[in-house]
Amino acid sequence: MEGRPREERELVLRAQGGDPRAFEELVRPHEEVAFRVAYLITRNAAEAEDAAQEGLVKAWRALGRFRAGEPMRPWLLRIVANEARNRRRSSGRRDRLALAAAEVSGEAAPSPEAAAVEADERRRLLDALEELPEQARLALACRYLLELSEDETASALGVRRGTVKSRSARALEKLREAYGPRA
């Protein structure tokens, strides 16, 4: 997504000049990841949608403070994640994340029994991830489920890059203990 910095820069300048189409084009490549970050935080698809939607509106309003040439994604994630945290705080909801493993088909499963064992392992790993403390869960989910960079994760979590590193390392340790060796 960041392979077109010149194009992005031009879109930023056009959007800063008040062109809403340019803004939409600018944020479209990041909408999915922004929504998923909001979902990880709010644990609720409707809340995540509202947070992402409102985050985009705030980003539009704050665009004057964005420096053309800087990557858009971390900036946008920070705003959307912040909105998601506010919503979660004010709603007081504590839903479980209901992250489900998608069905995996194909060569990974040599037999129905092996496929069942694989699916069970994936479920167990997700459950262990869900049981981690909030900050640890979010750090790992951003880094490994969404495959965000350390910088992007830092923006989404509102912490420094070094904190992402240390938090992820500790979270992996905890997860390893909880998940344990394969049966």
Partner 1 sequence: MDLERELRGLAIAWPKTPDLRPELGPRVRSRRPLLAAIAVALVVVALAAAFAVPQSRGAILRFLHLGGVTVEIVDTLPSAQERPLAAGLGPVVTAADARRRLGATPLVPPLDPPPPLHVADGVVSAVFADRGRPVLLSELGGDDPVIVKKLLQGGQIRFVRVGGAPGYWITGTGHVVTLPPSPSPRLAGNVLLWQTGGLTLRLEGRGLTLARALELAGSFRLLRDTP
178 lines the binding site for partner 1 (CB under 8 A): no
- 44 contacts 93 by C-beta, under 8 angstroms: yes
53 lines the binding site for partner 1 (CB under 8 A): yes
The DSSP output letter for 69 is T
CA distance readout (Å), 74 to 148, 152, 163 = 9, 5, 16
112 lines the binding site for partner 1 (CB under 8 A): no
Give the shortest CB-175-to-partner 1 separation in angstroms.
6
- 84 contacts 47 by C-beta, under 8 angstroms: yes
- 12 contacts 72 by C-beta, under 8 angstroms: yes
C-alpha 96/C-alpha 160 separation (Å) is 27
- 87 contacts 42 by C-beta, under 8 angstroms: yes
45 lines the binding site for partner 1 (CB under 8 A): yes
165 lines the binding site for partner 1 (CB under 8 A): no
C-alpha 155/C-alpha 81 separation (Å) is 8
Which residue intervals of 5-44 are DSSP H helices?
A: 5-16, 20-42
25 lines the binding site for partner 1 (CB under 8 A): no
Q: Near partner 1 by CB under 8 A, which window of 45-53, 70-78, 109-117, 155-163?
A: 45-53
Give the shortest CB-154-to-partner 1 separation in angstroms.
18
Using the minimum distance from each CB to partner 1, give the nearer residue, 52 or 157: 52
The DSSP output letter for 64 is G
Out of 9, 58, 165, 170, point to the residue binding partner 1 (CB under 8 A).
58
144 lines the binding site for partner 1 (CB under 8 A): yes
Tell which positions 64-93 bind partner 1, by CB under 8 A: 64, 86
Binding site for partner 1 (CB under 8 A): 18, 20, 23-24, 31-32, 34-36, 39, 45-46, 48-50, 52-54, 56-58, 60-64, 86, 99-104, 122, 125-126, 129, 140, 144-145, 147, 172, 175-176, 179
